[in-house]
Amino acid sequence: MSRVAVMGSGSWGTAFSQVLTDAGNEVVVWGKDPDVAESINTRHENPTYHPGISLPESIRATLDVDEALGQAEIVVLALPAQVVRENLAEWRHRLTWDCLLVSLAKGIELGSKLRMSEVVAQTAGVPAERVAVVSGPNLAREIAERQPAATVAACLSETNARRLQQACATSYFRPYTNTDVIGVEIGGAVKNVIALANGMASGMGFGENAQASLMTRGLAEMTRLGVALGANPMTFLGLAGVGDLIATCQSPLSRNRTFGEHLGRGLSVEETIAVSKQTCEAVKSCRPILELAQGASVDMPIGEQVVEVVWNGAATSTIVERLMSRVPRPEIRT
């Protein structure tokens, strides 16, 4: 059993806290919302994100960073990608010297274009081997309901990957290990962009052919970028690649797909943000992902069109015309 601090009491942070507790760990959840903390401690429920789901009574919630991080052997960062650096910069001196840092965020940092494991290692001042990531088809609500799911626990250190695997293995949550952190993180970040595009297609009324085409060509974009950055191409055929892509593109529980649906139905980005209750990582990450691709001379036409809509104000209807009018080419490039 390990003492685990989960820094973030949102949807995925709460669900993963349950997984860790069910796996036999002592779990403390940190958050900023006093009502959520009180509800977790007294009613054993997070009514904001998972109403109606009973959490293990042993999970403790706190607003005190020191209480959460004190003696924590594993620190889980369940935060939106764009705030990981600023929060960890405040917490780094409170971490135990040998704790394993685990990122749940699936995004690329604006400006630096760094993956989340790179942001964590740089900000905390720890070697990359002490930073792990969790990524896969892990829709938080289903996991909170203890429906069967699998995931990838990735770390450059195979020992630490196995350590994380053991810490979150339950009868309903099956983690696999991988040392290809680049591939796992690129898969987790890019699939959000493809899911947003897929949501736009659905919102505009397009059917399964269009959506299947977007997912398949999105997988090609994801793989090209990952391989150019040093990833193993086989990673994208696994849970953190095609597995996560299918779940995020197709499920109504997917925040990124839902965001895209709103855009496809005619809402602006600002209007969609106003009606959304949870973070849509693709909105901010799509631009640094495209910048990564451009820097590596990787063609990402779907990602490029998402950036045009989200950042440059292009109409969603233009995506179809621009993608369908591209110069024909072989499907498999050598």
Question: Is the distance from CB of 72 to CB of 4 less than 8 angstroms?
Answer: yes
Residue 115 has pLDDT above 90, yes or no: yes
Please tell me the distance from the alpha carbon of residue 62 to that of residue 23, in angstroms, as a whole number: 21
Task: State residue 324's pLDDT score.
Answer: 87
Among 179, 207, 223, the domain boundary falls at 179
From 32, 106, 113, 191, active-site residue: 191
Host domain of residue 319? 182-324
Question: Is the distance from CB of 161 to CB of 129 less than 8 angstroms?
Answer: no
**What is the domain count for the chain?**
2
Alpha carbon 234 to chain centroid, angstroms: 20
The continuous run of DSSP H or E covering 272 comes out as helix 269-275
Place of tokens 């299947």: 212
Task: State residue 325's pLDDT score.
Answer: 86
Give the pLDDT confidence of 198-255 residue by residue, as tens digits: 999 999 999 999 999 999 999 999 999 999 999 999 999 999 999 999 999 999 999 9
User: 280 lies in a domain?
Assistant: yes
Cβ atoms within 10 Å, residue 70: 13
Task: State residue 331's pLDDT score.
Answer: 87
CATH code where residue 320 lies = 1.10.1040.10
Mean pLDDT of the chain: 96
Place of tokens 């764009």: 82
Among 179, 205, 226, the domain boundary falls at 179
Among 179, 211, 229, the domain boundary falls at 179
Residue 64 has pLDDT above 80, yes or no: yes
Please tell me the distance from the alpha carbon of residue 247 to that of residue 265, in angstroms, as a whole number: 21
Query: In this structure, what token pair is assigned to residue 128?
Result: 């990359």
Arithmetic mean of pLDDT, 52-62? 97
Question: Is the distance from CB of 196 to CB of 282 less than 8 angstroms?
Answer: yes
Arithmetic mean of pLDDT, 83-98? 95
How many separate helices (H) and strands (E) can be counted in the chain?
Answer: 15, 8
Residue 6 has pLDDT above 80, yes or no: yes
106 is catalytic: no
Arithmetic mean of pLDDT, 46-65? 96
Closest CA to 102 of 202, 204, 6: 6
Q: Which residue has the higher pLDDT, 294 or 277?
A: 294
Closest CA to 53 of 65, 61, 62, 44: 44
Which ranges of 70-115 would DSSP assign to H, the alpha helix?
84-91
Residue 334: pLDDT band by 50, 70, 90 thresholds?
Answer: low
